[in-house]
A and B are shown apart, each in its own frame.
Chain A
Amino acid sequence: MSTIVYVPRDSSALSVGAEKVASAISQEAAKRGIAVTIVRNGSRGLYWLETMLEVATDKGRVAYGPVKAADVSGLFEANFLNTEAASAKAHPLNLGLTEELAWLKQQQRLTFARVGITDPLSLEDYLAHDGYQGLKNALALSAADIVKTVTDSGLRGRGGAAFPTGIKWNTVLGCAADQKYIVCNADEGDSGTYSDRMIMENDPYVLIEGMTIAGIAVGATQGYIYLRSEYPHALAVLNEAIAKAQQAGYLGDNILGSSYGFTLEVRRAAGAYVCGEETSLLESLEGKRGLVRFKPPLPAIEGLFGKPTVVNNVISLATVPIILHKGAQYYADYGMGRSRGTLPIQLAGNIKQAGLIELAFGITLRELLYDYGGGSASGRPIKAVQVGGPLGAFLPESQFDTPLDYEAFTAIWAVLGHGGIVAFDDTVDMAKMARYAFEFCAIESCGKCTPCRIGSTRGVEVIDKIIAGTDRVKNIKLVRDLSDTMLNGSLCALGGMTPYPVLSAINHFPEDFNIKDATV
């Protein structure tokens, strides 16, 4: 009998040698005459343990990690496929039953329910793990009831803006038009975030299902996934998954025999961070430079090619199927305050145990950084974390007890964004980080509005003066003044939020700017 061994195909797992591990296993098995079936699953998101391979047993999957290709022959020597063998149990890389790993067991995986468990491209696997149950329920509901279910779930845009998804859908539903669109924003450019990538590479059908439900709900027949060009693996997986879904009748005309039709196409972005902003994204999809549009009109009313358009993040859309499957209340029962449901949190940067943690809103940063993250990777104290990407505030240790909740973050002049947390140890120079924030804005500015286009460059220059020790107090005041202009005068979040990392760095870490206190 052939034993099933799971080896992830996720690009982060590949980045530390998963492909070599997979081929070493098949070679070693062939050499020893042992029957092994290798299944390329997604990653469970315990990235410090990648390549984490799993052996299927009667009791569940047994994990080994982190495995290097060079470890494979030793694993066979220890009879690792026979997980009951004493030698397998004693192997230093044996992690025990995957489902019993505390890091995983304590999570509340709703959006990520299948990630790491299934073969991402197997439609059979998807169906066997509750796939397309949401769509089936949606097909039995009226459009208005689908939208109401999403509204009642309390789901808010997971891309960062946290706008209620159901309300956006309702606006599009209410527009009469000959053509409407569903656009998935997969331009995940925030440093420290990778949950969109994980969904697309490791459970592509859930995104396809979510977009299909959105199309049925608002009356859109065409969908586009605007995917960043830095994600070649996600591109390949999505295209293959779309073709398979189409073949099986889950996309195309008359979905599952209904009167609804929905077609889906992946469009490659081209390396412009600003195209993650929804109106810039629409310009880019139309084949133009990614210049931000004035709002109004809202994209929901005049979006892609001037038609009513739902623009949602990958995670928002990928969460729709479970809401339609289990019901609005099931999802809304998770979370705190006005932040309902779960958030796929991504730990990154200088952290010992980095990876994907899906939990209900409400857990604190400290719990994430120390209980899950295990502290810094370098072993030094964590000095600061940046939450929500390059436009998010830097938080000092004194704010680590803030719960992950949109409103709690707003209250401390910070943003939760897309749920990425980047940790820095005490070797970080916050003046350098503030400079980088301005520099990044200057590189990525679309150039349409002056505060962002010019302000970012002036910002770099002023920070350089502060670092050089020229008129520090005067120049800090100048940075505050410039930030005020950018905050209030920019057309979109790129210029409008660059002051978050800059000012939070000054306010919380004045010593790095060689000033006594931040009130100057």
Chain B
Amino acid sequence: MQDTLIDQASVQAGWSEKLDQLIAQYKSLPGALLPLLHAIQDELSYIPESAYPKIAQALSLSVAEVHGVVSFYHHFKTHKPGRHVLQICRAESCQAMGSEGLEAHAKQCLSIDYHETSLDQAVTLEPVYCLGNCALSPAVMMDEEIFGRVSKADLEALIHDAKKTEAQA
């Protein structure tokens, strides 16, 4: 139990210095909190709770306010995701083209539900509400690469490739 409480970022060498650097870079921007949180997530792929006190102090906020902002936005993650993030569009246009089948298929292939990561840490599955690819529904996004008119076979191939890169890394 104790192990799960250890913040993974705190053991990453040099993170504390990196966080200081990011805070210094962003803190004087008007409305700095979101840009700073994005920068942290770009760096670590999530926002560790251990960073909240430093962020709060630099921006004259309470830790609760930082927590409130992180937890308000779907995009921000508080736990390290898998090596790849697969987003499946659940919005109406994609529903009209069979996204429900894709959702079920992805969950089955990965043996997980939304907001979970496959056992091999390869893929985190997330719902998304519109990728702006509605003319080529159904759409999914793997990391920052977008795919349109996705069939179940296409999705399987994407998942297969994501798992392969995990093995190499």
Contacts and interface: CB of A to CB of B under 8 A. Distances in A.
Interface in B121-169: 128-137, 139, 141, 144-149
B132 A230 contact: yes
Given A14-B146, A289-B68, A350-B96, A273 B134 contact: no
Interface in B35-88: 35, 37-38, 59, 65, 68-69, 72-76
Nearest to A197: B132
A271 B87 CA distance: 12
A229 B75 contact: yes
A270 B136 contact: no
Nearest to B127: A443
B92 A188 contact: no
A284 B96 contact: no
Contacts of A420: 93, 134
B34 interface: yes
A428 B96 contact: yes
Interface residues of B, number: 42
A386 B92 contact: yes
A440 B146 CA distance: 22
A348 B95 contact: no
A194 B94 CA distance: 13
A232 B133 CA distance: 13
Contact of B130 (A11, A189, A272, A305): A189
Nearest to B100: A432
A347 interface: yes
A188 B132 contact: yes
A355 interface: yes
B9 interface: no
B30 interface: yes
B22 interface: no
B73 A272 contact: yes
Contact of A270 (B31, B34, B133, B149): B34
Contact of B129 (A191, A268, A288, A350): A191
B43 to A, nearest CB: 14
A451 B74 CA distance: 22
A425 B134 CA distance: 16
A428 B145 CA distance: 29
A269 B91 CA distance: 18
Contacts, number: 154
Interface string A9-50: 001101110000000000000000000000000000101101
A189 B129 contact: yes
B37 to A, nearest CB: 7
A253 to B, nearest CB: 19
A425 B96 CA distance: 7
Given A15-B147, A189-B130, A287-B33, A270 B76 contact: yes
B146 A267 contact: no
Contacts of A110: none
Contact of A287 (B59, B128, B132, B146): B59
A192 B92 contact: yes
Given A193-B132, A270-B74, A422 B96 contact: yes
Contacts of B72: 272, 289-290, 446
A423 B148 CA distance: 17
B132 A11 contact: yes
Interface string A220-261: 000000000111110000000000000000000000000000
A356 B144 CA distance: 23
Contacts of A270: 34, 37-38, 73-76
A191 B94 CA distance: 8
Nearest to A291: B72
B97 A444 contact: no
B104 interface: no
A479 interface: no
Given A12-B148, A192-B93, A192-B134, 19 more contacts: A15-B139, A16-B136, A189-B129, A189-B130, A194-B133, A230-B130, A269-B34, A270-B38, A270-B76, A271-B76, A273-B129, A285-B34, A346-B135, A349-B93, A354-B136, A433-B92, A433-B95, A440-B129, A444-B129
Interface of B: 30-35, 37-38, 59, 65, 68-69, 72-76, 91-97, 128-137, 139, 141, 144-149
25 contacts: A11-B132, A12-B133, A15-B147, A189-B130, A192-B91, A194-B135, A197-B132, A230-B131, A232-B144, A269-B73, A271-B74, A271-B75, A272-B73, A289-B68, A290-B73, A305-B31, A348-B93, A348-B135, A349-B96, A349-B137, A390-B91, A422-B92, A422-B96, A424-B96, A436-B95
